[in-house]
Structure 1
Amino acid sequence: MVETDYYELLGVERTADDRTIKLAYRKMAMECHPDRHGGCTEQEAKFKALNEAYDCLKDPQKRAAYDRFGKAAFQNGAGGGDPFGGGANFDGGFSDIFSSIFGEFMDQRGARQNAARGADLRYDLELSLEEAFTGKQASIEIETLQACEPCGGDGSRGESKPQRCGTCGGAGKVRAQQGFFVVERGCPTCYGHGVTIADPCPQCDGEGRTLKRRQLSINVPSGVDEGTRIRVSGEGEAGVRGAGPGDLYLFVHLKRHPLFSREGTTLVAECPISFTTAALGGSITVPGIDGAEIEIKIPAGIQSGDTLRQRGAGMSVLNGRGRGDLISRILVETPTKLTAKQKELLCQFRETETGEECPASKGFFSRIKSAMG
């Protein structure tokens, strides 16, 4: 499962205040509004994603849920845990999410109820733009809690086995009457685990897991962008005493490219050309993101800042087929080092100018002359 982080999408830090988030949303929404791009489907999709992100982050309760559980917080019936902490089940719907967030009771040792499932892990993966285009089988190394080998993950030594807690009956929690209310707390005997261990494993002290380093091979799909989140199920921390593991979340970060900047699936390259090429026309060749050379035809009379589009020469479409476009932004360069011969030729050209060669300049100076009366 691949999804974009709301904070990355809006370009703000996770600690940003409400005003910062609001200003970032307004600026980006204005830039990519579909009406400004002639109904471009790519900009329309980005605009919808921005609205989805802002709708979540502007609401304190939704933001709290998202910070903890990611988009899983808003998927009814979705199992699993949050991307930065412990596990939780959402089978009961949205109301259960907030119950999970704010309804957890801590016993005297700080053990959380039902904290058996392993924690989710985050890994920041840096890719070049070429790797994001083609996809990659990434090899990463992480240090995480894994099932203890000597005890097989159950936390007990040798032939002894964990026994069901006699205080809570294996539930991991006990109830106490306080006036009209019934308060549920973590079991003080088993500390919320539901079992007790008479003879703990000396390797893991009865927890059933130890800290180790390991190598993972992760398939990164083509077309990922800055902030893309990749979920690798079951590759987080091992659970306590044989409980299920958490998940691993990879957050993609792209290195700066020397030629291209990226706008979704569109690549933008700034291409300087000589003023003679701009005046007479011609062609230039640039290397494509796929390694193939791309010839760009320059029409005569092109102006600095004009753009040329090559269809299908941009980035791969994430989870889809096809490619975006390549936009070449033309920058007309004025020569700074001229030979005597070149200066002579330019002087001859200037003597033949009528003003019709550069209509924008002619119109500008005409307006100035009229304004000064």
Structure 2
Amino acid sequence: MSARDWIDKDFYHELGVPSDAGDAEIKKAYRKLARELHPDANPGNAQAEAHFKAVSEAYGVLGDSEKRKQYDEARRVFGSGGFRPGGFGGFGTGGGSTFDFGDLFSGQQAGAAGGGGISDLLGNLFGRRGGTAGSTNRPRRGADVETEVRLDFVEAVKGATVPLRLSSPSTCGTCHGSGAKPGTSPHTCATCGGAGLVSRSQGAFAFSEPCRDCRGTGRIVDDPCPECGGDGVSTRTRTLTVRIPAGVNDDQRIRLAEQGEPGAGGGHAGDLYVRVHVTPHAVFGRSGNDLTIKVPVTFPELALGTTLDVPTLDGKVSLRVAPGTASGRVLRVRGKGIARRDGQVGDLLVTLQVAVPATMDDKAKAALAEYLTATSGHDPRPDLTAMLEKRSQP
């Protein structure tokens, strides 16, 4: 893609967000559009697939803080009537020539410009560093890809192996990225000598533009690959088996190195990020590496003491409740929580809660009335009673 193509694209418009949108808003918009436009959700819909690619490209820039900063700066400098890659604004150059920023800021006037500056900015965005024409085809890392997976609570605690079905740009399996039909090979563009740019001088200025014969790639493909049309990249559906580690948290991201989009010019592939969503459990909760559970008990069990059978993720344990235990007390069962990567294991935290029956028969009511009479001398709230008595005194 040429500098003109990149700057002329409105990535904010592609994602439907304003230019001052925050990272969270950009991510939310991308994830919504990706779900709606994903090829799996729109089989055979070429328009949806094209839109999906455009949205992915936009997020590849706006989702990266450094690339977004460079993109915004390039649009600010070149995007509104000033000189731009592909034209020098109102400065008449004739013939649609473009200004060679590399020659101006990196070569002939490096001393005046102090090096870097505009050429560094353009180099980061368009694969050109220091204005060297031969660097247009240097290896470039592929874009990162993000997908989502949902696990139930037990899978998240113990770890799971899950298959992921991904539809994303990847190295063409037919031409293996060369862009040429099997049995043929690309050759160096004779017009630009493989640089991807053609240059000319006009007065004191040097002008350059992407080579029209090779479209700035530096290579000519005489017989394009039938699968990818000469791009070397095609949208393919692939299945990965991913191991989710034990103890993963809800909304945590798992990074799979070099499983994202393929790089250009022999560059490394991007990374794949798997965002994990955990379905809550009907009985257990979680606090860090500890499992939590609430166990209903009767008043006699707390008052007289008892032994309870409490479930865990690995069966059950017997838990001794001492006489006189208060409702709301938390008892700890060591080593029955979540195992961490360093080998440490959390605990099971058991909260005891008195269960009050909604209805009682006459025999139970009579027993409670007898108990109330027998304990009439016991004040369960002495602090409140003392405060009330103090305030009632003249």
- The TM-score range, normalised by the shorter chain, is 0.5 to 0.7
> In the aligned structure 1, how far is the partner of 2:202 from the partner of 2:255?
43
Q: Which amino acid aligns with 1:314?
A: G
Q: Is residue 323 of structure 1 aligned with residue 376 of structure 2? A: no
The answer to whether the Cα contact below 8 Å between 1:173 and 1:184 also exists between their aligned partners in 2 is yes
Distance in 2 separating the partners of 1:305 and 1:183: 79
Say if 1:297 and 1:265 are closer, same or farther in 2 by CA, change over 3 A. same
The equivalent position to 1:14 in structure 2, one of 18, 24, 28, is 24
Indicate the residue corresponding to 1:68 in structure 2. 64
2:373 maps to 1:351: yes
Question: Displacement of 1:106 after TM fit?
Answer: 9.7
1:129-144 equivalences under 5 Å are 129-144=153-168
Match of 1:254 among 270, 278, 290: 278
2-structure distance, mates of 1:281, 1:13: 55
In the alignment, which residue of structure 2 is the partner of 1:47?
none
1:363 and 2:383 matched:
yes
CA distance in 2, matches of 1:184, 1:14: 39
* Counterparts in 2 of 1:66 and 1:274: CA distance versus 1, 3 Å: farther
Q: Are the equivalent residues in 2 in contact too, given 1:118–1:236 (CA < 8 A)?
A: yes
Larger deviation, residues 113-122 vs 245-254: 113-122
Query: Counterparts in 2 of 1:72-221, with a 5 A limit?
Result: 103-105=124-126, 116-166=140-190, 169-172=193-196, 190-221=214-245
**In the TM superposition, what is the alpha-carbon distance from 1:103 to its structure 2 partner?**
4.7
Deviations for 1:161-202, whole angstroms, at most 9, x for unmatched residues? Answer: 222345665455678999999999866654554433233223
The alignment yields a C-alpha RMSD, in angstroms, of 3.9
AA at the equivalent of 2:388:
I
| Cα shift at 1:293 | 0.6
1:291-340 CA-partner distances (Å, limit 9, x unpaired):
221222222222232211112111111x2102111111222122222111
Maintained 8 Å contact 1:141/1:215:
yes
| Whole-angstrom CA distance in 1 between matches of 2:362 and 2:122 | 77
For residue 210 of structure 1, give the secondary structure of its aligned residue in structure 2.
strand
Structure 2 contact 302–325 (Cα < 8 Å) conserved: yes
- Per-residue CA deviations over 1:43-86 (Å, capped at 9, x if unaligned) read xxxxxxxxxxxxxxxxxxxxx9995279xxxxxxxxxxxxxxxx
1:298 lines up with 2:294 in the alignment? no
Cα distance in 1 between the residues matched to 2:320 and 2:276: 35
SS of residue in 2 equivalent to 1:104: helix
Residue of structure 1 equivalent to 2:335: 312
Structure 2 residue matching 1:124: 3-state secondary structure: strand
- With a CA cutoff of 8 Å and minimum separation of 6, indicate the structure with the bigger relative contact order: 1
Contact 1:209-1:241 within 8 A present in 2 as well: no
The corresponding residue for 2:364 is 342
144-153 vs 174-183, greater mean Cα deviation: 174-183
- Alignment partners' CA distance in 1, 2:62 and 2:298: 51
Q: TM-score, normalised by structure 2?
A: 0.60
Q: Give 1:269's aligned residue.
A: 293
Is the partner of 1:236 in helix, strand or coil?
coil
Give me the identity figure in percent: 30
Checking the alignment, whether the CA contact within 8 Å between 2:137 and 2:265 is kept in structure 1 is no
2:262 to 238, 242, 258: 238
The answer (yes or no) to whether the contact 2:139–2:267 under 8 Å persists in 1 is: no
Amino acid across the alignment from 2:272: L
- SS of the residue aligned with 2:25? coil
Name which of 228, 243, 250 aligns with 2:252.
228
- Tell me the matched-pair count: 281
Seen in structure 2, the aligned counterparts of structure 1 residues 270 and 190 have a Cα distance that, compared at 3 Å, is: farther
Mark the CA change 1:101 to 1:313 in structure 2 (over 3 Å): closer, same or farther: farther
Distance 1:346 1:167 in 2: 101
State how far apart, in whole Å, the 2-side matches of 1:298 and 1:275 are: 12
Q: Distance in 2 between matches of 1:301 and 1:185?
A: 86
CA deviation after TM superposition for structure 1 residue 205, in Å: 1.0
Asked if structure 2 preserves the Cα contact closer than 8 Å seen for 1:113 and 1:173, the reply is no
Alpha-carbon distance between aligned partners in 2 of 1:321 and 1:302, rounded to the nearest angstrom: 33
Moved more, 216-225 or 113-122: 113-122
Letter of the 2:391 counterpart:
A
